[in-house]
């Protein structure tokens, strides 16, 4: 698991990627978030594959305080 301090986040990019077509004309999709940091790191979070009519929830929690060591 990788931790990123709130103050180190530069931008967050969200997108949808088509993963292919399956029988019946439905498409598979993948949702992703990319977190870019001020020190030029990038962390990508991917969802599971889902069909056209399916719904999903992806939660990104950004902690304002550092976790205790």
At 62 the pLDDT is 60
Q: For the chain, how many residues are written?
A: 69
Domain edges within the chain: 6-46
Residue with tokens 């993948």: 30
Q: Which residue has the tokens 């077509």?
A: 21
Are 35 and 62 contacting, i.e. CB atoms less than 8 angstroms apart? no
Question: Tokens in use for 47?
Answer: 């969802």
- Per-residue pLDDT of the chain in tens (69 residues, 90 and over written 9): 667 787 888 998 888 888 788 877 778 888 888 989 998 888 888 887 777 766 666 666 665 555 554
- Is the pTM here over 0.75, yes or no? no
Provide the edge-to-edge strand list for the sheet that holds 42-46.
Answer: 9-21, 27-37, 42-46
């Amino acid at each position: 698991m990788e931790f990123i301090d709130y103050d180190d986040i530069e931008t967050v990019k969200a997108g949808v990627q088509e993963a292919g077509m399956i029988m019946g004309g439905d498409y598979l999709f993948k949702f992703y978030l990319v977190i870019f940091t001020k020190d030029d790191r990038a962390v990508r979070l991917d969802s599971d594959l889902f069909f056209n009519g399916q719904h999903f929830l992806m939660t990104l929690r950004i902690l304002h305080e550092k976790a205790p060591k």
